[in-house]
């Protein structure tokens, strides 16, 4: 009997064996910076898409990146996440992880999560299963064979469901969610995978006004525990969430500051509206609209 009891104890569904759990990643943010990007350049067929770019993101901040089409925003995200290798420069996650030495999977494992503009959820799976599949577990063959969802992992998924406002939809197929709900689920998937730095590409494109408002509240609530970098064209939305805005132009940082500072910045006005209008007050108002 004792043998059977011991065996049952070992295979209890609500316990996850320690060897299955991934090793926690340490990110050194002693200097309060979570992302260091220095002297970064990449060119495609002689065209400088990123041009000696320097950018520092503070741990826990909510930063917005704006810039006209072709300014280099997507290319920058591609470099941070390991999709594109730069020609020169450095990208560090905290003080100790050189992201340029890692591939995409390793960078995601370190805690850098990316949400693309179009949601890529598993439509035929439930909301709960989508989150379950994103949990940060040891994905080796042996652990996967024996993996059981423990109580703490279920609690983690419930917590994420609450954060993204989809508790009621937990058993619904992801395919039946509205566009906005799919976007929140995808953000939830990044949370379930323990992403510490969230790179979010145009989160409110195609959303209703109510969904946009909820997304703003969600992203604001995530900052602090997470660092959130949002690439967005919708200036009204940027104004509603951003503390610091970085303007990219021709692959470099053109300006950085609060939305009000950006709105008054002469270089930004020139780029957006043309030099001849730079001194006019109407032009100043136009940048943020």
Ligand X SMILES: Nc1ncnc2c1ncn2[C@@H]1O[C@H](COP(=O)(O)OP(=O)(O)OP(=O)(O)O)[C@@H](O)[C@H]1O
Site for ligand X, rule CB under 6 A: 44, 49, 67, 69-75
Indicate the residue among 72 and 86 with the shorter CB distance to ligand X: 72
CB of 160 to ligand X, least distance (A): 28
| Shortest reach from residue 84's CB to ligand X, in Å | 7
- Quote the least distance from Cβ 74 to ligand X, whole Å: 3
Cβ proximity to ligand X, 49 vs 108, nearer residue: 49
Closest separation in Å from C-beta 232 to ligand X: 10
Cβ atoms of 16 and 150 within 8 Å: the answer is: yes
In terms of CB distance, is 158 or 234 closer to ligand X? 234
Q: Which is nearer to ligand X, 67 or 82 (CB)?
A: 67
Which of 60/70 has CB closer to ligand X? 70
Structure tokens belonging to residue 49:
């898409």
Which residue number, 58 or 83, has a Cβ lying nearer to ligand X? 83
- Least distance to ligand X, CB of residue 118, Å: 13
Shortest separation between residue 114's beta carbon and ligand X, angstroms: 13
């Amino acid at each position: 009997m004792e043998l059977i009891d011991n065996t049952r104890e070992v295979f209890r569904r609500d316990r996850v064996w320690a060897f299955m759990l991934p090793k926690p990643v340490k990110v050194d943010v002693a200097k309060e910076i979570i992302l260091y990007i220095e002297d970064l350049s990449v060119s495609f067929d002689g065209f400088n898409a990123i041009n000696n770019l320097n950018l520092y993101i503070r741990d826990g901040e909510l930063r917005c990146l704006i810039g006209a089409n072709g300014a280099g925003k997507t290319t920058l995200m591609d470099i941070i996440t390991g999709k594109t290798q730069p020609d020169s420069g450095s990208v560090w996650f905290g003080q100790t992880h050189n992201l340029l030495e890692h591939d995409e999977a390793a960078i995601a494992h370190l805690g850098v999560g990316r949400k693309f503009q179009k949601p890529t959820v598993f439509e035929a799976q439930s909301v709960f299963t989508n989150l379950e599949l994103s949990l940060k577990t040891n994905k080796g063959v042996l652990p996967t064979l024996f993996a059981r969802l423990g109580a703490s992992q279920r609690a983690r998924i419930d917590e994420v469901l609450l954060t993204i406002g989809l508790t009621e939809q937990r058993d619904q197929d992801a395919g039946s969610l509205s566009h906005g709900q799919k976007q929140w689920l995808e953000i939830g998937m990044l949370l379930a995978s323990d992403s510490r730095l969230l790179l979010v590409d145009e989160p409110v494109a195609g959303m209703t006004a109510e969904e946009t408002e909820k997304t703003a509240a969600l992203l604001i609530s995530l900052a602090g525990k997470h660092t959130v970098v949002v690439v967005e064209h919708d200036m009204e939305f940027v104004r509603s969430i951003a503390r610091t805005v970085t303007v990219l132009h021709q692959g470099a940082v053109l300006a950085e500051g609060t939305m009000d500072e950006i709105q008054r910045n002469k270089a930004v006005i020139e780029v957006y509206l043309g030099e001849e209008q730079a001194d006019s007050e109407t032009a100043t108002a136009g940048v943020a609209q």
